[in-house]
């Protein structure tokens, strides 16, 4: 057993870690497709115990299970990257959508108050001509590398997180519950990648989406299926 501490830089909601980033920290310890689930909001600046077992990784805060990642097999068809890619409105501000909740402006992935290099600055917009799809450019840099000339797993998982929210739950207070990811190829930390998200289904408080990352040359790097759960906005409001 060892521990991991997630610095406040990697926040999603103001008081907890970005879900995709946290799931990626677990997933990087496993091979192949991985399904990672979060049971409680991952704490910031707090040592979290990491326990590995065959085919699985658990995170604990004292005796509370924070999250679990385990080997999986992702069956998800990815739509082609739209060519040309024409971006339109912010999904939250789209006409006819009552805004009940504004996304976190300080989120490591999608926060509009973050600056390039400090955050990923992935700001999804609606894709014109493709209902239910969003997309955003992702400017890559060496700071995202893990040593062997490729983007670190936790950053790739983070990039696959927030675009799903904008595809399936914009304007709702929703948290990532599960992310299942298949990484097809390494992504070099240079140039401009493209991240897309698309709505899959909704039932009750559950929202399902797909996301994918395309390399600067247009090749598919990774794909994911996300499950989001709508919650009481007060439970994740800034303090």
Q: For residue 148, give Cα distances in angstroms to 110, 140, 144, 220.
A: 26, 15, 11, 20
Q: Which two tokens stand for residue 214?
A: 């395309």
Domain range summary for the chain, segments of one domain joined by +? 2-236
Contact 110, 162 (CB under 8 A): yes
Token digits of residue 68: 């679990």
For the chain, the first-to-last Cα distance in angstroms comes to: 32
pLDDT band (50, 70, 90) for residue 102: confident
Which residue from 45, 39, 38 is spatially nearest to 15, judged by alpha carbons? 45
Residue with tokens 């909704």: 202
| pLDDT, average across residues 48-74 | 97
The verdict on pTM exceeding 0.85 is: yes
CATH fold label, 2-236: Porin (2.40.160)
Q: What is the pLDDT at residue 103? A: 79
pLDDT for 2 equals: 93
Given a cut of 90, whether residue 97 has pLDDT beyond it is no
Residue 177 has pLDDT above 90, yes or no: yes
Q: What is the pLDDT of residue 95?
A: 72
Q: What local confidence, expressed as pLDDT, does residue 218 receive?
A: 96
Q: Which of 1-5, 6-10, 152-156, 225-229 has the lowest mean pLDDT?
A: 1-5
Q: What does the alpha-carbon distance between residue 207 and residue 167 come to, in Å, rounded to a whole number?
A: 10
Helix ranges (H only) for 91-225 are 153-159, 162-168
pLDDT value, residue 190: 97
pLDDT confidence band for 99 (50 / 70 / 90): low
Please determine, for residue 88, whether its predicted confidence score (pLDDT) is greater than 70. Answer: yes
Is residue 239's pLDDT more than 50?
Answer: no
- Residue 17 — φ and ψ, nearest 5°? -75, 155
Tokens 């709508």 correspond to 230
Q: Region 154-159: what's the mean pLDDT?
A: 98
**Could you tell me which of 212, 22, 174 has the C-alpha nearest to residue 92?**
174
């Amino acid at each position: 057993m060892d521990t991991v501490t997630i610095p406040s830089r990697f926040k999603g909601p103001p008081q907890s870690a970005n879900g995709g980033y946290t799931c990626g920290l677990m997933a990087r310890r496993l091979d192949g497709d991985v399904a990672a689930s979060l049971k409680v909001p991952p704490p910031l600046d707090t040592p979290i115990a990491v326990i590995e077992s065959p085919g699985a990784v658990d995170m604990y805060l004292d005796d509370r299970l924070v999250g679990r990642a385990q080997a999986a097999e992702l069956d998800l068809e990815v739509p082609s990257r739209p060519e040309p890619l024409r971006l339109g409105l912010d999904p939250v501000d789209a006409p006819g959508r009552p805004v009940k909740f504004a996304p976190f402006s300080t989120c490591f992935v999608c926060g509009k108050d973050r600056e390039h290099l400090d955050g990923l600055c992935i700001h999804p917009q609606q894709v014109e001509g493709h209902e239910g799809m969003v997309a955003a450019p992702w400017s890559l840099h060496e700071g995202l590398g893990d040593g062997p000339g490729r983007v670190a797993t936790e950053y790739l998982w983070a990039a696959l997180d927030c675009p799903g929210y904008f595809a399936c739950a914009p304007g709702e207070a929703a948290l990532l519950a599960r992310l299942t990811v298949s990484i097809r190829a390494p992504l070099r930390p240079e140039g401009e990648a493209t991240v897309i998200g698309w709505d899959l289904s909704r039932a009750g408080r559950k929202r399902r989406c797909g996301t994918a990352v395309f390399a600067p040359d247009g090749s598919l790097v990774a794909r994911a299926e996300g499950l989001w759960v709508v919650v009481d906005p007060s439970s994740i409001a800034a303090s």
